[in-house]
DNA sequence: TCTGGGGTCCTAGGACCC
DNA sequence: TCTGGGGTCCTAGGACCC
């Protein structure tokens, strides 16, 4: 069977850096507390506030390198993976998401001092891509490797955070170099180029170590007789494409280090969404209680949409059954999506969410709820229907605006809907969370404790 | 897994239109 | 009607990433 050949001479060849912050949350905590991020045994542990006392429910959001080594845990793991009683040398601290976000902003500003907006792509809270091809001269360095060292030093001096850097001809190579080599190297850097593919990518030991291959895809590949990246690269492109669709084709290309994306291209994701998911503190099977939670989530999503100046044209509701509960249809969850006229209004979102809930729910035992607004647009005009008087629409909009303002100024808890006070309501408890975890003290409270200079003290 | 939370992308089948 | 074909939109389901 014929196969595909890649000609590296024709592929994009840039100097791309993929930089991540070593154990970001854990390191930030160490820095804030004046401890060495590499030597301190520290984990950031999140407890749902309703079960502080239950060790088993603790989730470790981040572990310092020393903690990883000492207890054989990964970056993200569970409290029960730690020895118990907890060793005295181990520092366990609650998350302070607000401070991590500030630290992230500071680090991004440092990256921006090395490249312009166009050549900086934020991948996640602790990972960024930089295209430094055109700035090597400007910084008087001979190689991207040297520039990477400069940036690492700069970030460390300004923040105390260690960074790891993967370097490559394209974003994929840089990312693979980061994940599979830089993290293990003493200098926290690794450079993978096209000519290195055979002795780098193909030597990655496990399929699941490869970006884009999880447990399920690894199994599918195994079923095709492919057990390593090397075998993947030496399989047949057309066969893979036939058996695994575009994913197969993409994996094949990736195994040869091929990635034709550029950071500069304004990449438009096909879909955008804003959603929330929460595991409930206990099983819920009362319709009214679930309705309260769903309404709260619709409220929260509406607030976020309005803050970002967005409107949703779709809404998805998911109700996940309690562990072990399976209904007649053999399902483990219920899910429904609906389209709607572009809106960011609380009333509209709640109405649609409730409609989906009514159509789905038949008394099952629920443990988790997810609500996601998708197909987001920036449409300015208001779609009018023939039956709702314009005054009513304007009125609802004003109410939303006022609620937003009050909450922004005085905090969420100062203005909650009556239903949230009922049995089962979650909004009040969740209002202090940032990104689903404890936000830590507000800036104002930090100032009270440490004075006006608290940000400087924290190197933020 | 003895249930964290927030995202994006791909597939497949049905509805509907020409 | 023992019966065409192609395109697009919609929704449910699933996989992966940080």
pLDDT at A261: 84
- What percent of chain A lies above the pLDDT cut of 70? 95
CA of A375 to C1' of B13 (A): 21
Judged by C1' against the alpha carbon of A301, the nearest nucleotide is: B6
Residues A212 and A338 in one domain: no
Q: pLDDT class for A383, splitting at 50, 70, 90?
A: low
pLDDT at A449: 81
Is A452 part of any domain? no
Residue A217 CB in 7 A reach of strand B: no
**Which positions ≥6 away from A208 have C-beta within 8 Å?**
A214, A215, A218
d(CA A268, CA A309): 18
Is A261 part of any domain? no
pLDDT at A306: 92
pLDDT at A53: 59
Q: Which residue has the higher pLDDT, A387 or A170?
A: A170
Is A147 part of any domain? yes
Q: pLDDT class for A190, splitting at 50, 70, 90?
A: very high
Q: pLDDT class for A51, splitting at 50, 70, 90?
A: low
CA of A78 to C1' of B1 (A): 10
CA of A391 to C1' of C18 (A): 44
CA atoms within 13 A on the CB side of A248: 18
For A15, the domain range is: 11-192
Strand-pair category, A120-124 with A189-192 = unpaired
Tokens of A440: 């830590």
Q: What is the pLDDT of residues A294-346, one digit of tens each?
A: 999 999 999 999 998 999 999 999 999 998 787 777 788 999 999 988 999 99
pLDDT at A411 exceeding the cut of 90 = no
Residues A356 and A331 in one domain: yes
Paired residues of A374 in beta bridges: A273, A314
DSSP A376: E
Q: What is the pLDDT of residues A214-234, one digit of tens each?
A: 999 999 999 999 999 999 999
Residue A435 CB in 7 A reach of strand C: no
The three-state secondary structure class of A276 is strand
Residue A270 CB in 7 A reach of strand B: yes
CA of A244 to C1' of B11 (A): 10
Tokens of A306: 């309005």
Residue A76 CB in 7 A reach of strand B: yes
Domain-ending residue, one of A192, A211, A229: A192
Q: How many helices and strands (H and E) does chain A possess?
A: 14, 15
d(CA A430, CA A281): 11
Average pLDDT over residues A20-25: 96
Average pLDDT over residues A91-116: 95
Q: Which residue has the higher pLDDT, A257 or A391?
A: A257
Domain-ending residue, one of A137, A168, A192: A192
Comparing A273-287, A306-320, A374-388, A446-460, the range with the smallest average pLDDT is: A374-388
pLDDT at A246 exceeding the cut of 80 = yes
Judged by C1' against the alpha carbon of A272, the nearest nucleotide is: B8
CA of A271 to C1' of B18 (A): 28
Is A394 part of any domain? yes
Average pLDDT over residues A380-402: 75
Whether the Cβ atoms of residue A378 and residue A344 lie closer than 8 Å to each other: no
d(CA A407, CA A415): 7
Is A64 part of any domain? yes
C-alpha to C-alpha distances, A219 to A148, A149, A181, A248, A445, nearest whole angstrom: 37, 39, 24, 13, 50
pLDDT at A71 exceeding the cut of 60 = yes
Q: How are strands ordered across the β-sheet holding A311-321?
A: A273-284, A366-377, A311-321, A333-343
pLDDT at A433: 87
Is A453 part of any domain? no
pLDDT at A52 exceeding the cut of 60 = no
Question: Cis omega (within 30 of 0) on the bond before A170?
Answer: no
Residues A19 and A122 in one domain: yes
Average pLDDT over residues A191-196: 98
**Which positions ≥6 away from A388 have C-beta within 8 Å?**
none
Other C-beta atoms within 10 Å of A384: how many? 11
pLDDT at A222: 95
Average pLDDT over residues A402-409: 84
* B strand bases under 7 Å from protein CB: 2-12
DSSP A344: -
Whether the Cβ atoms of residue A440 and residue A98 lie closer than 8 Å to each other: yes
Residue A337 CB in 7 A reach of strand C: yes
The Cα angle at residue A131 between residues A126 and A132, in degrees rounded to 5: 110
Residues A90 and A40 in one domain: yes
pLDDT at A378 exceeding the cut of 80 = yes
d(CA A169, CA A146): 16
Residue A212 CB in 7 A reach of strand C: yes
Whether the Cβ atoms of residue A439 and residue A97 lie closer than 8 Å to each other: yes
pLDDT at A351 exceeding the cut of 80 = yes
Mean pLDDT taken over chain A: 90
Active site residues per annotation of A: 127
Residue A441 CB in 7 A reach of strand C: no
pLDDT at A241 exceeding the cut of 70 = yes
Average pLDDT over residues A121-142: 96
Write out the DSSP string of A201-242.
GGG-S-GGGSTT--HHHHHHHHHTT--SHHHHHTS-HHHHHH
Residues A223 and A162 in one domain: no
Residues A73 and A179 in one domain: yes
pLDDT at A34: 94
Residue nearest to nucleotide B2 (CA to C1'): A56
Closest CA to A45 of A6, A8, A84, A16: A84
Strand-pair category, A311-321 with A333-343 = antiparallel
Residues A361 and A302 in one domain: yes
d(CA A284, CA A32): 40
Residue with tokens 């680090």: A107
d(CA A60, CA A58): 7
pLDDT at A384: 59
Q: pLDDT class for A49, splitting at 50, 70, 90?
A: low
Q: pLDDT class for A451, splitting at 50, 70, 90?
A: confident
CATH number at residue A226: 1.10.150.20
Q: Which residue has the higher pLDDT, A42 or A436?
A: A42
Residue A223 CB in 7 A reach of strand C: no
Average pLDDT over residues A51-62: 74
Q: Looking at A94-162, list the stretches that DSSP marks H as alpha helix, in order from N- to C-terminal side.
A: 97-112, 144-159
Average pLDDT over residues A189-204: 98
Residues A99 and A231 in one domain: no
Write out the DSSP string of A43-87.
EEEE--GGGTT-GGG-EEEEE-HHHHHHHT--SSEEGGGS-SSPP
pTM of the prediction?
0.91
Residue A59 CB in 7 A reach of strand B: yes
Judged by C1' against the alpha carbon of A321, the nearest nucleotide is: B3
Residues 173-202 of A with CB under 7 A from strand C: 179
pLDDT at A62 exceeding the cut of 90 = yes
CATH number at residue A71: 3.30.70.270
Give me the number of domains chain A comprises.
Answer: 3
């Amino acid at each position: 069977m014929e196969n595909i050949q890649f000609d590296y001479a024709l592929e994009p060849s840039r100097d791309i850096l993929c930089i991540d912050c070593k154990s970001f949350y854990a390191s930030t905590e160490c820095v804030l507390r004046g401890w060495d991020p590499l030597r301190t045994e520290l984990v950031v542990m999140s407890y749902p506030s309703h079960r502080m006392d239950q060790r088993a429910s603790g989730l470790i959001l981040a572990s310092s390198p020393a903690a990883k080594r000492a207890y054989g845990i990964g970056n993200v793991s569970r409290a029960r993976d730690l020895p118990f009683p907890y060793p005295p040398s181990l520092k366990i601290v609650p998350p302070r998401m607000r401070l991590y976000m500030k630290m992230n902003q500071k680090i991004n500003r440092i990256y921006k001092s090395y490249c312009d907006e166009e050549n900086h792509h934020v991948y996640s809270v602790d990972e960024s891509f930089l295209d430094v091809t055109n700035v090597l001269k400007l910084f008087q360095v001979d190689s991207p490797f040297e520039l990477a060292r400069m940036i690492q030093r700069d970030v460390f001096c300004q923040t105390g955070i260690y960074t790891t850097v993967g370097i490559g001809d394209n974003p994929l190579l840089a990312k693979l170099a980061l994940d599979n080599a830089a993290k293990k190297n003493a200098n926290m850097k690794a450079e993978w180029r096209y000519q290195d593919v055979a002795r780098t990518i193909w030597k990655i030991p496990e399929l699941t170590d490869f970006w884009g291959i999880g447990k399920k895809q690894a199994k599918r590949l195994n079923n095709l007789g492919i057990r390593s990246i090397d075998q993947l690269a030496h399989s047949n492109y057309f066969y893979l494409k036939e058996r695994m669709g575009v994913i197969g084709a993409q994996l094949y290309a990736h195994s040869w280090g091929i990635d034709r994306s550029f950071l500069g291209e304004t990449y438009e994701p096909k879909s955008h969404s804003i959603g929330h998911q929460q595991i409930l503190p206990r099983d819920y099977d009362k319709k009214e209680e679930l309705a309260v939670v769903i309404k709260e989530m619709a409220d929260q999503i509406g607030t976020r949409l309005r803050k970002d100046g967005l409107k949703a044209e779709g809404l998805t509701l998911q109700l996940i059954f309690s562990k072990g509960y399976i209904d007649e249809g053999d399902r483990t969850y219920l899910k429904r999506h609906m389209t709607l006229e572009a809106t960011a209004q609380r009333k509209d979102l709640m109405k649609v969410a409730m409609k989906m809930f009514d159509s789905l729910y038949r008394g099952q035992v629920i443990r988790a709820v997810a609500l996601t607004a998708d197909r987001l647009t920036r449409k300015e005009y208001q779609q009018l229907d023939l039956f709702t008087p314009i005054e009513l629409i304007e009125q609802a909009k004003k109410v939303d605006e006022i609620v937003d303002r009050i909450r922004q100024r005085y905090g969420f808890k100062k203005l909650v809907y009556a239903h949230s006070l009922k049995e089962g309501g979650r909004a009040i408890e969740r209002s202090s969370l940032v990104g689903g975890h404890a936000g830590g003290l507000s800036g104002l409270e930090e100032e009270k404790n440490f004075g006006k200079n608290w940000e400087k003290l924290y190197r933020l």
